[in-house]
Amino acid sequence: MFGPIGEIIETQRLRLEPLAVHHADEMAEVLDDPRLHDYIGGEPLTRDELRARYERLVTGPAPFHQEGWLNWVIFRRRDDRAVGYVQATVTPSPTALKASIAWVTGMPYQGFGFATEAAGAMVGWLRAHGVTEITASIHPENASSAAVARKLGLHPTPDVDDGETVWRVPSS
């Protein structure tokens, strides 16, 4: 794998665990809502399809891709319930490492700040491990994800990636 290797990250309310295949059993329920796909396309995966996807993600990209896939399942600490996931694709840039990040929380867990807390913890972890550029690609109509991005200090740019607005921390 290229870049840092994921580890457990804890916040006041959450625990982010590096993705493992066995997480598919619990995550299939968390992600089983078609509304989660309004802006990312597709439809909920079955438990077996999600397990197969997690097997691919855990294996990571081929070494020649020069990127690392970091995926964490978000657990609510008070009851150890999975509520979503965060992820980062880490690649080299001419000066350091950059990451494209994303977050998803299950419908029953939205509106409690879990995405912001988890994504913020992930960004802090990435920065502590040498990542200097952070971007996120967000569908222009996804106001909830745009709000999370703003809270993380990201700002929309004129750049578009596959129909989504690229957000980044402005250069200082």
**At residue 172, does pLDDT exceed 70?**
no
What is the tens place of the pLDDT at every residue in 46-98?
999 999 999 999 998 877 778 999 999 999 999 999 999 999 999 998 888 99
Minimum mean pLDDT range among 1-10, 90-99, 131-140: 1-10
Res 3: pLDDT:
65
**At residue 156, does pLDDT exceed 90?**
yes
CA dist 53 and 45 (Å) reads 9
**At residue 153, does pLDDT exceed 70?**
yes
Per-residue confidence band for 171, with pLDDT thresholds at 50, 70 and 90: low
**At residue 35, does pLDDT exceed 60?**
yes
103-114: burial string, b at 16+ Cβ within 10 Å, e else = bbbbeebbeeeb
**At residue 1, does pLDDT exceed 50?**
no
Q: Token pair 């879990």 is at which residue?
A: 114
Res 95: pLDDT:
84
